Amino acid sequence: MIIIRLALQSLRNRWITALLTIMSIAFSVMLLLGVEKVRNSARASFSNTISGTDLIVGARSGGMQLLLYSVFHIGNATNNLTWRSYKEIAARPEVKWIVPLSLGDSHKGFRVMGTTKAYFQHYRYRDKRALVFAGGGIFNDLFDVVIGADVARALDYQMGDKITVAHGIGEIGAKHDDTPFRVTGILKKTGTPVDKTLHVGLRAIEAIHVDWQTGTKIPGQTTPAARMRKMKLRTKSITAALVGLKSRLQVFHFQRFVNNYRREPLSAVMPGLALHEMWALVGTAETALLAVSAMVVVTAILGLMTMIFSTLNERRREIAILRSVGAGPQTVIGLLVSEASILTALGVVIGVASLYTLLLAVRPFIDRAYGIHLEMSAPSGPELLVLGAIILGGVVAGLLPAWRAYRQSLADGMMVRT
């Protein structure tokens, strides 16, 4: 306890240098643990986006690309899946349920997705959780729309509001002004791309394009909405389909059937394997980022050692006095090692506390802007081991200057330099 009191008193006399050292260690801990927290949260958010779906079927493309544009609404499909092929796949005896997805239009930067009522019945996320309505319900009329939580919050939409869909994905695309939709349902927050999506019926996608040809509005042609409701609108193609099978044992057999489909080139991917492929692709970048964060921590520890070394010359008289009154090597070495340990421990504690404070502050923004749900759980076992290793590194960083300080001669320490 005496050594600890001496160490605290010594640090208080050099409080500016000590504070800067603590802050450098705290920032390095924040960076290291912050990168790990964001990395794990991003993986969890992506993995929790879809659950309970055995296969995703779409036009022939890479598995990761099919997953990204059909589930995460990132990028565009290379081609569409014809409705005839969709019906044949849906009629297969292995299929328990199937949900069509049609993408291509948008509303003020948010994706518009055409689907059926089966989507709200079978789509699952995060441990097979079902979609829940915060207000209203499933679309019934041709021009009803169900919006995600982020759409409602960002655009301040309420039940019954009218919205206009734009052709294409860009925010400046031509608008379907003659066919406004009415908000009939608002979904609760899910932390998935569903929050940023507007859901309409498949027939609605066909209806808003009745007066369009090859992506362009036909001049002078406008079909009234009342007439569209009476038309036999038939879906010609869709972007992709989510498939649930009666038995998980049939997944590979059904996937082989789709991949070898003769009518048109198709692909069927398992969401879990596609996600694994994606993480394998970005794994190198994650490792590099963690390596840079670790080097920052090492730099902070070296800075701690440099700080202690730089003060040895000023403290030679102090250490010599301690030796003159009978302080042994344990006392002198223990004093400097205690200082290094205190500085490192305080840096770790402040770094962890600052990280969780920062995560709590930016959590809503990250969730709203990027759809990543930052977990606020206590440090995991591996993270505690890392923190323990940092503190141990601080102790080791204090050993070398402590040993050097003890080896300085008593006479040299007591000498008055002019």
Handedness of CA 164, 166, 167, 168 (dihedral sign): negative
Per-residue pLDDT of the chain (418 residues; tens, 9 = 90+): 666 776 777 777 777 888 888 898 999 999 888 888 888 887 777 778 888 899 999 999 888 899 989 998 888 888 899 999 999 999 999 999 999 999 988 898 899 999 999 999 999 998 888 999 999 999 999 999 999 999 999 999 999 999 988 877 765 556 766 788 999 999 998 888 899 999 999 999 888 887 766 666 667 677 777 778 888 888 899 999 999 999 989 999 999 999 999 989 999 999 988 888 887 777 777 788 888 888 888 888 888 888 777 776 666 666 666 666 666 666 667 777 888 888 899 999 999 999 999 988 888 777 766 667 777 778 888 888 989 989 998 888 888 777 776 666 444 544 555 4
- Give, in order, the Cα–Cα distances in Å from 178 to each of 173, 221, 232, 331, 418: 15, 11, 19, 86, 92
d(CA 26, CA 20): 10
Q: What is the pLDDT of residue 38?
A: 83
For the chain, the farthest-separated pair of C-alpha atoms sits apart, in whole angstroms, at 105
Mutual angle of helices 15-47 and 329-370, in 10-degree steps: 40
- Helix residue ranges per DSSP H, 196-328: 202-207, 225-230, 251-259, 271-312, 316-324
- Judge whether 101 and 242 are in contact, CB under 8 Å: yes
Q: Which residues contact 353 (CB under 8 A, 6 or more apart)?
A: none
In the chain, where are the structural domains located?
2-46+279-414, 55-269
| Overall pTM surpassing 0.85 (yes/no) | no
d(CA 235, CA 206): 6
